[in-house]
Chains A and B, each alone.
Chain A
Amino acid sequence: MTVTFRPLAGASLLLALMGSASAQTTITVATVNNGDMIRMQRLTPEFNALHPDIKVNWVTLEENVLRQRVTTDIASKGGQYDVLTIGNYEVPIWAKQGWLMPLENLGADYDQADLLPPVAQGLTVDGKLHAVPFYAESSMLMYRTDLLAKAGLKMPENPDWDFIADAAQKMTDKGAGIYGICLRGKAGWGENMAFLTSMNNSMGGAWFDMEWKPQFNGPEWKKTLDTYLSLMKQYGPPGASSNGFNENLALFQTGKCGMWIDATVAASFISDPKESQVADKVGFAPSPVRKGGANHGNWLWSWNLAIPATTSKAEAAKTFVAWATSPAYMKLVAEKDGIANVPPGTRTSLYKNPEYLKVAPFAQMTLTAIEAANTQKPSDKPVPYTGGQFVAIPEFQAIGTAVGQQFSAALAGTSTADQALAAAQALTSREMTRAGYPKK
């Protein structure tokens, strides 16, 4: 009896010890290396103060590495992550695959109704949120007020592409190293194609018609690409075909660009006197439209926190996600780092806060741009897809990047606009047929 009793007692003691050890839940959060996410990481001790029973491990990766890494894990049910940082491109696609947990009951003080409607809508599948926004952005025109005044121009309320061409020409002073316009040229679905897809929307074009036939042989894409190439070749910086967001940011901050059309989040960087040499000379306007048009391109991107269905620590993960996107978190950031550093674009209340509007001159324009972005109807034409600066189908990453390479080559001068459009049409048709479109 005693012989069997001892190991039993030992085992039960061990179990008890293990039980007390596992009272603390460890969650792993995968995220990207953007300023707002780094701040969240730095504020983890504040979360621990509220929830001492949850330990947070951070995995920070480059955006494309993260996307590949997280996709592998989630598709093979690896269960390595409990919270994911993903874009609004992935959310609906992954939610439909059953990869994400619907997020409900995020707490009494979460105030879900405060989330900006266009942003929340992009994350809602079957009437339920499948991710919550951490920060969001649309696109806008950022320009140098001093150079525009020198050119003798005044920024209209809704600039069109003709005005942009005129202003770019008058602001360019290549001798002084000032280029009228800086735009993305680096190939990639999230690089030049984000800009060009959005620009094409504003020109009245679309990626596909209702039968999923690519539209690169239509007049709108031709107009888009011709306008883009003529702007960039005449008034753009040299070597623009390798410029992405960061390169243009660097150019603008060092005073080399007259105008830059890109993500609204750039506004806070170029207005920051610590980083930017032109901080006190920047103005903001809506993304350009075609003459007489009202479509600004419908650019809408959000970085969101989601919980994979594979997690075994759903409750702890939910507690964290709710904390990081709550009004209380925004208050915390405002207290610690100043209200200008609160993650933008997700909550209506932020844009009603007079303190924020005072320190962030770009706030109103950011809000207007986000509210104007209609991801449910990105093009003026009837289209079978949703999206904005992207097309919300799983195939878009590959096709968008391949088309982006064609357009980047046209910018570099190794092919003409017509050749690039023909190649884009051919490769998109081929890939879409291969993927089985039109899907019934």
Chain B
Amino acid sequence: MAREVSKGRKAAVTLLAWGVALLIFFPILWTFLTSFKTEGEAINSHPSFLFFDWTLENYETVNQRSDYLAHFWNSVVISLGSTVLGLIIAVPAAWSMAFVPGKRTKDLLMWMLSTKMLPAVGVLVPLYLLARDTGLLDTKTGLVIVLTLVNLPIIVWMLYTYFKEIPGEILEAARMDGATLSSEILYVLTPMAVPGIASTLLLNVILAWNESFWTLNLTAANAAPLTAFIASYSSPEGLFYAKLSAASTMAIAPIMILGWFSQKQLVRGLTFGAVK
């Protein structure tokens, strides 16, 4: 009896999970489908789900009009660059906070997080002026630095929670064996925290890839990544829904494929430490 109830419950929960997943995924699916429609079909108030004349003309137009590869390359450099730079700073920072906390560590962590609570636009003008004066406007270097700073609190926090799960005694044992600080971090801590670091890396690549405030506001022609590529297909007067969908699909495809292949890592990393 009890087993039957739990079976039913399991089915219900599975169904619910599928429902929620579909609901979340639907906009992406719809964008994907719209990208193969004509502009006329895309705005049809009784849209057909699959039975329309599939066309590649939007992709053709988008490829003719924009330099996808240039934007793609900018996105790759900016998201990977900012994540790697962020990790280089955050691993030692998280180490010290997790294993040698001081009196103010908690406050420091909260303060770091609090910088995420300010709307980005609040610091737009000061950052813009700094970028202007240092010649970093519309450069990949400038965006790597800004996105590193923007995502650093999240990287530090994520690594901090992973590191907290690692018993300090292991590091202590390494120290007893004569490991220096750098080899302790590099050869003892890092290998144990690989799942955590991997998921931090992945999540931050995704965050940096999708970041659309700074990447739009600090770029013009040279360093504009895929977010600017999408923004160039939104129109106030005229119909561009299908082309916009094609551009969006092209922009999110690489990161979706990356996410797809690394799901296991992502989920493992995100739930790491959640269940003891």
Contacts and interface: CB of A to CB of B under 8 A. Distances in A.
A68 interface: yes
B220 to A, nearest CB: 4
Contacts of A41: 65
Interface in A56-101: 57-63, 65, 68-69, 72-73, 75-81
B235 A32 contact: yes
B217 A246 contact: no
Contacts of B217: 68-69, 72
B221 interface: yes
A41 B61 CA distance: 13
B45 A30 contact: no
A318 interface: no
Contacts of A253: 40, 43
A33 B220 contact: no
A338 B148 CA distance: 50
Interface residues of B, number: 30
Given A72-B128, A250-B45, A63 B40 contact: no
Interface in B231-246: 231-240
A274 B150 CA distance: 46
A275 B44 CA distance: 11
A261 interface: no
Contacts of A277: 40
A370 B234 CA distance: 27
Interface in A237-259: 244-246, 249-251, 253-254, 256
Given A65-B216, A78-B132, A81-B220, A72 B239 contact: no
Contacts of A251: 45
Contact of A33 (B39, B43, B233): B233
Contacts of B125: 72, 75-76
B231 A62 contact: yes
B228 interface: yes
A394 to B, nearest CB: 16
With most chain A CB atoms within 10 A of its CB, the pick from B45, B224, B231, B232 is: B232
A13 interface: no
A50 B248 CA distance: 35
B137 interface: yes
Contacts of B138: 80
Contacts of B181: none
A246 B124 contact: no
With most chain A CB atoms within 10 A of its CB, the pick from B220, B228, B233 is: B220
A28 B45 contact: no
A89 to B, nearest CB: 13
Interface string B246-273: 0000000000000000000000000000
A245 B65 contact: no
Contact of B239 (A63, A79, A249, A256): A249
Given A59-B224, A61-B216, A68-B217, A78 B128 contact: yes
Contacts of B129: 76
13 contacts: A28-B221, A32-B236, A34-B237, A34-B238, A35-B238, A59-B220, A65-B234, A72-B125, A75-B125, A78-B128, A80-B220, A249-B238, A250-B45
Which 8 A-B residue pairs are closest in the complex by CB-CB distance?
A57-B221, A60-B232, A250-B43, A62-B234, A80-B220, A33-B235, A63-B236, A35-B238
